[in-house]
């Protein structure tokens, strides 16, 4: 028996910002969930199950927050699942929800991911001083910066590529009312002259800390037939993981990412991603990860990712727009960031992306990664149901 | 410095994880905790008319938003209990007490708190109890110091009264300390590694399948899924495979910026480890730089790595380690 086709019929996000002191965690997730239900023109009663995700519990210090959030998400008396894959969690949460529809376990599933970074200890939650171990010498940026340098050495990329990505994503964010950063006065020169934090990563090339939540309503073919607005149809979804450190790990282009992309393209019948995919929402917390992921995801040959960036192909009006929403560089509620990528990919093929709509987008990729380039989650969505 | 462990005894040490977490309360919890500060216990009325204490923001049955607050009595009835003979830190009382679920008069649900009683024989389900307020109240659940027995007093006749939830200077957020106490055991492989480090030797372990040498060893090769047993001394020299220059001071590190944080592949190791480079201006550090560890008297690990003065390693010799 073939799988049930899965459609995205509702998308909801909060207005992402540095601190939402006016709402509890419950109030925050509630906003995103209600907006997704409104978009789908459904009520709590139409939801069969809820699948949520967030980054590690110790970020906000609420152990098993899914228990306390059940009321806010209308989940009482329904199956409620929590997914847990570090920064990629928003993507893998959506995929777990999609699997429940595809397997005909549930017909309509609400999926949601969130983070309230203003009330969290992300830095300490990630790097506890452990007895007997050498203290860590740098934060998240310091962890990733050496990999960026390795990428530059391996490919001969010029030093300015990262600034181009940051400038593009921040300009795209100006078209996205939900984005956290709206830096109207930003210029390429300001990006290039922003303080060097973890050389080669500059301040303006790093993601912000955000409070936010993102939700989607996923449903089956019958649910899609009743949807008030265009659907996004899932054409493939895949997850892969690998250890943070092992002998032979390619930290610049991790194999788990390459394998995950190959799997999702095979499911979606994509043989030439550069030509067949119209818009990409990829997880780029530091600007240089755009050229790195362009190679890892097969949009560019090895060593050529930076050339795509330099040629302007990944601009909003380019051949292959990357992060039309402004991406993680403009909005980073960690646990939600992966789901925002998946949801923005869905908005593009639904034609519902507003001012940051990629004209004529019919096929889009949503991508998330997390841990020390350890977890990968991706989906391909299209404007028409999958055939066969 | 901790005495060097022998390779046969595995290390253990306490690990305490403790943070003060901030919480924005949202409308209902804000009213509830501000009420406690004012010796007023608020509940919320659900869609089907029940009164929940403590109150919640969303109806557990219908998921509707709940904002219909009521004031309940500071007296109530124990619905069930458990004796706590040895209170631990952070609990409401430091002498033995009963954990109780108390249904306050006017409420339909019970609140978890502590009952100050001389012993378990003085506690029973159905007994009447009363709130003992804390002298200093800040807008927190601890504003209820505990409950105390209330003799044979009957429940008040009046039901819960509507309440606006409005107070002057409402509490909008709280700080909730969280603490976890672990005993950390790094395992036999790391114990062996640390024992060798005490003699300033870096000893990794070779995978019998892929032949790669893990430093630090973890007892197994994550790629092949087999135990590593053969010990292999690596270094002391190594190659900087990649690095970054840290320009912002981390609050937990006593290192002056800028400094260089590098990945260093010790000679013979199958993967790079992390270390700081010094003994060379930070802007002269480069990929391929040959380095060697520098130890301090009391350090478990090298303090940093310094250049050896050898010619730089050729890129091809370390490119697989990036």
A332-381 residue pLDDT tens: 999 999 999 999 999 999 999 999 999 999 999 999 999 888 999 999 99
Inter-chain contact B315–A153, Cβ cutoff 8 Å? yes
Mark yes or no for CB contact B276/A137 under 8 Å.
yes
3-state helix, strand, coil in chain A (%, to 5): 40, 20, 45
Residue ranges for chain B with pLDDT beneath 50: 1-5, 7
Q: Report the pLDDT value the prediction gives residue A62, as an integer from 0 to 100.
A: 86
Alpha-carbon span A233 to B144, nearest angstrom:
53
User: Read out DSSP for A61-122?
Assistant: T-SSHHHHTTTTTT-TTS-EEEE--GGGHHHHHHHHHHHHHHTTS-SEEEEEEEEEGGG--H
> Tokens in use for A7?
């459609």
- Give Cα B222 to chain centroid, integer Å: 27
Residue contact B14–A131, C-beta within 8 A: yes
Distances (CA, A) of B151 to B52, B74, B116, B122, B129: 25, 14, 13, 11, 8
| Residue B315 near residue B288 (C-beta atoms within 8 A) | yes
B interface test, pick of A137, A205, A211 with most B CB neighbours within 10 Å = A137
CB A166 within 8 A of CB A204: yes
Q: What is the pLDDT of residue B191?
A: 92
Q: What's residue A180's pLDDT?
A: 98
Task: Give the count of alpha carbons within 13 A of B235, CB side only.
Answer: 29
Among chain B residues, the shortest Cα distance to A73 is held by B63
- Closest-CA residue of chain B to A23: B26
Chain A residues 93-152 within an 8 A CB cutoff of chain B? 116, 118-121, 124, 128-139, 142, 145-150
Widest Cα–Cα separation across chain B: 91
Cβ-nearest to A149 among B13, B61, B243: B243
Question: Chain A residues with CB inside 8 Å of B322's CB?
Answer: 147, 150, 153-154, 250-252
Q: With contacts defined as CB-CB under 8 Å, which chain B residues touch A129?
A: 252
Closest to B78 (Cα-Cα) out of B146, B157, B141, B161: B146
Q: Please give the pLDDT value at position A388.
A: 65
- CATH code, residues A7-122+207-382: 3.40.47.10
A247 and B212 within 8 Å at the Cβ level: the answer is yes
Low-confidence ranges of chain A (pLDDT < 70): 1, 122-127, 388
**Is the separation of the CB atoms in B115 and B97 below 8 Å?**
yes
Cβ(A91)–Cβ(A339) under 8 Å?
A: yes
Name chain B contacts of A159, Cβ cutoff 8 Å.
none
Residue from B274, B273, B270, B272 nearest B206 by CA: B270
User: B100 phi and psi, to 5 degrees?
Assistant: -130, 150
Measured CA distances, A308 to A41, A207, A250, A323, B122 (Å): 40, 22, 22, 14, 77
The C-alpha of B203 sits at a distance from chain A's nearest C-alpha, in angstroms, of 15
Tokens at residue B298, please? 């009391």
Nearest to A131 among B15, B176, B213 (CB): B15
Tell me what pLDDT residue B3 has: 47
Residues A74-83 have pLDDT tens digits of 999 999 999 9
Boundaries of every domain in chain A = 7-122+207-382
Chain A (306-335) residues lying within 8 Å, Cβ to Cβ, of chain B = none
Domains in chain B: boundaries: 26-171, 188-321
> Does the predicted model carry a pTM greater than 0.80?
yes
Label each residue of B53-79 as H, E or C.
CCCCCECCCCCCECCCEEEECCEEEEE
């Amino acid at each position: 028996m073939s799988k049930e086709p899965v459609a995205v019929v509702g998308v909801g996000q909060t207005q992402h910002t540095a601190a939402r002191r006016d709402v509890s965690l419950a109030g925050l997730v509630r906003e995103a969930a209600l907006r997704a239900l409104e978009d789908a023109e459904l009520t709590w009663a139409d939801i069969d199950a809820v699948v949520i995700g967030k980054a590690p519990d110790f970020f906000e210090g609420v152990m098993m927050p899914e228990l306390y959030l059940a009321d806010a998400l209308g989940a009482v008396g329904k199956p409620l699942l929590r997914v847990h894959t570090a920064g990629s969690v928003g993507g893998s949460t959506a995929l777990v929800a999609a699997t429940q529809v595809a397997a005909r376990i549930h017909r309509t599933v609400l999926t949601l991911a969130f983070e309230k970074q203003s009330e969290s200890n992300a830095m300490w939650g990630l790097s506890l001083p452990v007895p007997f171990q050498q203290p860590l010498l740098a934060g998240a940026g310091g962890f990733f910066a050496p990999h960026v340098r390795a990428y530059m050495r391996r490919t001969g990329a010029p030093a300015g590529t990262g600034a181009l990505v940051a400038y593009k994503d921040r300009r795209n964010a100006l078209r996205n009312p939900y984005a956290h950063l709206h830096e109207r006065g930003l210029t390429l020169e300001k990006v290039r002259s922003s303080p060097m934090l973890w050389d080669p990563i500059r301040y303006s090339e790093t993601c912000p800390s955000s409070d936010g939540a993102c939700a989607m309503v996923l449903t089956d073919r019958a649910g899609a037939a009743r949807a008030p607005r265009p659907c996004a149809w899932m054409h493939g979804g895949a997850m892969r993981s690998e250890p943070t450190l092992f002998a032979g790990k390619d930290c610049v282009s991790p194999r788990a990412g390459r394998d995950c992309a190959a799997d999702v393209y095979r499911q979606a019948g994509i043989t030439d991603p550069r030509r067949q995919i119209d818009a990409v929402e990829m997880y780029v917390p530091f600007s240089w990860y755009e050229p790195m992921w362009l190679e890892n995801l097969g949009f560019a040959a090895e060593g050529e990712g930076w050339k795509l960036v330099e040629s302007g192909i990944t601009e909003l009006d380019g051949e292959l727009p990357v992060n039309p929403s402004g991406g993680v560089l403009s909005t980073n509620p960690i646990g939600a960031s992966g789901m925002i990528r998946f949801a923005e990919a869905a908005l593009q093929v639904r034609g519902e992306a507003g001012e940051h709509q990629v004209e004529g987008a019919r096929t889009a990729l949503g991508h998330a990664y997390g841990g020390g380039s350890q977890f990968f989650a991706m989906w391909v969505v299209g404007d028409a149901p999958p055939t066969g | 410095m901790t005495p060097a462990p022998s390779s046969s005894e595995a290390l253990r040490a306490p690990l305490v994880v403790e943070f003060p977490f901030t919480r924005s309360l949202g409308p209902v919890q804000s009213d509830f905790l501000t009420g406690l500060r004012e010796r007023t216990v608020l509940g919320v009325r659900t869609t089907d008319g029940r009164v929940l204490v403590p109150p919640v923001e969303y109806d557990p049955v219908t998921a509707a938003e709940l904002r219909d607050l009521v004031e309940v009595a500071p007296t109530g009835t124990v619905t069930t209990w458990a004796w706590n003979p040895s209170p631990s830190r952070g609990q409401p009382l430091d002498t033995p007490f009963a954990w109780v679920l108390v249904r306050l008069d006017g409420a339909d649900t019970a609140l978890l708190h502590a009952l100050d009683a001389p012993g378990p024989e003085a506690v029973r389900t159905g007994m009447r109890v009363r709130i003992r307020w804390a002298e200093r109240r800040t807008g927190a659940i601890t504003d209820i110091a505990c409950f105390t027995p209330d003799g044979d007093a009957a429940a008040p006749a009046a039901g819960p009264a509507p309440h606006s939830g409005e107070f002057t200077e409402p509490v909008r957020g709280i700080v909730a300390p969280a603490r976890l106490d672990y005993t950390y055991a790094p395992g036999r492989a790391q114990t062996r590694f640390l024992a060798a480090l005490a003699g300033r030797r870096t000893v990794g372990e070779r995978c019998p399948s892929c032949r790669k040498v893990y430093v630090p060893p973890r007892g197994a090769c994550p790629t092949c899924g087999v135990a590593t047993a053969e010990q292999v001394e690596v270094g002391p020299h190594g190659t900087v495979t990649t690095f970054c220059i840290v320009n912002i001071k981390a609050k937990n590190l006593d290192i002056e910026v800028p400094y260089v944080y590098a990945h260093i592949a010790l000679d013979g190791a199958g993967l790079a480890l992390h270390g700081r480079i010094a003994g060379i201006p930070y802007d002269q550090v480069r990929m391929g730089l040959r380095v060697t560890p520098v130890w301090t008297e009391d350090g478990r690990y090298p303090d940093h790595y310094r250049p050896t003065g050898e010619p730089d390693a050729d890129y091809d010799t370390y490119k697989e380690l990036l």
